[in-house]
Amino acid sequence: MKPNSTDLAAYYAKRAGVFEQVYEKPERQADLAVLRQRLAEVLAGHRVLELACGTGYWTQYYASSAASVLATDVNPEMIALAQAKGLDANKVTWKLADAFDLQVTGSFSACFAGFWWSHVMREDQEDFLQDLRQKLGKDTLLVLMDNVYVEGSSTTIARTDLQGNTFQIRTLPDGGRYEVLKNFPTDSALRKKLAAATKEIRILRLEHYWMLTCRLK
């Protein structure tokens, strides 16, 4: 795991059991319905590599339309919950893998990373994209999905560092508190960051979420 200001793996391992509660907020339901449909359409027929799949929440909504799925996460706690969803084992494979040090084999036509880009330091994002290009190859479809900061719905930003990374204080059910990196890029910032490594960038921005599709150069 690439080091940063907080141990994301430890935080999400402890949060695994309540991970999907974030998708239960009433004000987000209309946006979520749009994203579920769009994701299934965009990944239809693709051989998908999913990064940081968590509990498989998003995997379950596009797996039936994809040709195949290799869904990865660094946390065995998350993978166990994802496997319990009972998705078609002939189509979906689960694997422990670190998105920052990706050790996977296979041929993929698409890569999906849901709610992962916000956890990559701004100064590391270009290197992360270059690594994906080397592993996946030219013209691979890349799909990113993440949060928009909405006052009153999003967790308050606790601080911003010198590179412009923003951090939140998250409290777990056991009372544990973690400082978690969570960036909220604008459309222009996304286009600027991805321009060198990708092409055909398209962004759907809803009230609470954004979704970006592009192809690796």
Fold of 8-149+185-216: Rossmann fold (3.40.50)
- Tens place of pLDDT for every residue, the chain, 217 residues? 343 434 777 777 777 667 788 899 999 999 999 999 999 999 999 999 999 999 999 999 999 999 999 999 999 999 999 999 999 999 999 999 999 888 888 899 999 999 999 999 999 999 999 999 999 999 999 999 999 999 999 999 999 999 999 999 998 888 888 899 999 999 999 999 999 999 999 999 999 999 999 999 9
Which three-class secondary structure state does DSSP give residue 91? coil
> Measuring CA to CA, how many Å separate 180 from each of 87, 156, 165?
30, 11, 10
Residue pair 142/171 in contact by the 8 Å Cβ criterion: no
Residue pair 126/193 in contact by the 8 Å Cβ criterion: yes
- Rounded-to-integer distance, Cα 64 and Cα 217, Å: 28
- Rounded-to-integer distance, Cα 90 and Cα 37, Å: 22
pTM exceeds 0.85: yes
Q: Which two tokens stand for residue 80?
A: 């166990």
- Rounded-to-integer distance, Cα 137 and Cα 37, Å: 27
